[in-house]
Structure 1
Amino acid sequence: MKTIIPFSHQLLKEIVLKGDTVIDATCGNGNDTLFLSKLVGQHGKVYGFDIQAAAIVNTRKKIETEDYLKNVTLIHDGHEAIDKYIAVNEEVAGAIFNLGYLPKGDHAVVTKPVSTIQAVERILKRLTLGGRIVLVVYHGHEGGTEEKNHLLTFCENLDQNYYQVLQYQFINQKNQPPFILAVERIK
């Protein structure tokens, strides 16, 4: 079985095509941004969001070393601000969130349920048919359980006529292991 990050990438590899527009809603250290940049190719677009300047710097360094900066727009702002940067009529094929805190960063700065759900709602308005939003939910930190519970409730209440939602997790791991919520637009 694939572990969490490889499976989150597989979910996007299955549906994102060269030339598509995608979102990395939490740039972190740039790993997902680079993955998405390679996935969409030189004619695609990647919008990368993070509220921490260190994450934007880390991501820029990561993609510069790989020469993938040309199709990436890095945005030092919260993912809930998507409407300020991406037109409502711009279609998005996929998005990924790694929730929690920046690895090797300030653990007091964490994603919040309200802003995360606002971002998901705004991406859903732009999501192509067959498009996916992948949320990697790290919840072993202060406030993490609250965000996890809000996201589960939000996803459970998405209209099954328009979206299907997958939860993927390993249930025999210790210390609140991360899990995936994947939302796919079906209508």
Structure 2
Amino acid sequence: MTSVAQRAWHQFVKEGDTVVDATCGNGNDSKWLAERIGPNGNLVAFDIQEDAIRSTSAVLEDEVDPELLPNTRFIRGCHSTMQEHVQAASFVCFNLGFLPGGDRTIVSQPTTTVAALKAAMAILEPRGIISVLAYVGHPGGMEEYKAVQEVVMQIHPQDFTVLEQRILNRPNSPVLILLWRRPG
């Protein structure tokens, strides 16, 4: 589902954009975003774990041409504080769950994820996209997905168009939710 998400992002994320990786993890999404937005763009990467910040920083430093790197800020803290750090963005992505290869007891939580999603909606520019990849196969993952789903199902369709994609014959596969802020 990550590649499905990134194919969707490709239509909306462009050079010079301000983007937010709300859960930077091992840096794969931040790398994709950095290469897409380039040196005129701004990337803000959040994670509560110092290991994730270090990993993402190393990926950007080692795998992205230094001349193409965007202005990058790392926020070691909860993504629910997004509005304190970002005024406006054209794209925000979330990969919920735990840090792959990290401590599986440290997972994103429904309450902070819902707060972060609402913060992302508040800073999102018209025609901007929010991407949520909800991993449902770990303890607490399904509850977090349902909390996100409950919020997005209540959004007025004049404000956002919301799409959900899932693999139907693999019940524990991640679920992709995309929110497109309608113009005007």
Compute the TM-score of the two structures, normalised by the length of structure 2.
0.93
Q: Which residue among 129, 134, 138 is the counterpart of 2:135?
A: 138
Which AA in structure 2 matches 1:105? Answer: G
Q: Secondary structure of 2:170's partner?
A: coil
Partner residue, 1:79: 79
Partner residue, 1:97: 94
Q: Secondary structure of 2:178's partner?
A: strand
Partner residue, 2:43: 46
Q: Is the 8 A contact 2:38 2:70 kept in 1?
A: no
Partner residue, 2:8: 11
Encode CA deviations 1:148-178: one digit per residue, 9 max, x unaligned: 111111111111111010001111125x111
2:169 corresponds to 1:179: no
Which AA in structure 2 matches 1:153? Answer: E
Structure 1 gaps, min length 5: none
Q: Secondary structure of 1:10's partner?
A: helix
Q: Which residue among 114, 119, 124 is the counterpart of 1:117?
A: 114
Distance 1:148 1:54 in 2: 25
Moved over 3 A (4+): 67-70
Encode CA deviations 1:12-41: one digit per residue, 9 max, x unaligned: 111112111000000100000011111111
Q: Is the 8 A contact 2:42 2:72 kept in 1?
A: yes
Q: How many residues align?
A: 180
Identity of aligned residues (%): 32
Distance 1:179 1:144 in 2: 11
Q: Secondary structure of 2:100's partner?
A: coil
Range that drifts further, 164-173 or 121-130: 121-130
Encode CA deviations 1:79-133: one digit per residue, 9 max, x unaligned: 111122123xxx2111111000000100000001111111111111121211100
Which AA in structure 1 matches 2:107? Answer: V
Distance 2:166 2:15 in 1: 29
Q: Secondary structure of 2:156's partner?
A: coil
Which AA in structure 2 matches 1:78? Answer: C
Q: Is the 8 A contact 2:83 2:120 kept in 1?
A: no
Distance 1:122 1:138 in 2: 21
Partner residue, 1:61: 58
C-alpha displacement at 1:71, in angstroms? 2.1
Which AA in structure 2 matches 1:32? Answer: D
2:150 corresponds to 1:159: no
Range that drifts further, 4-13 or 50-59: 4-13
Backbone CA RMSD of aligned residues: 1.2
Partner residue, 1:32: 29
Structure 2 gaps, min length 5: none
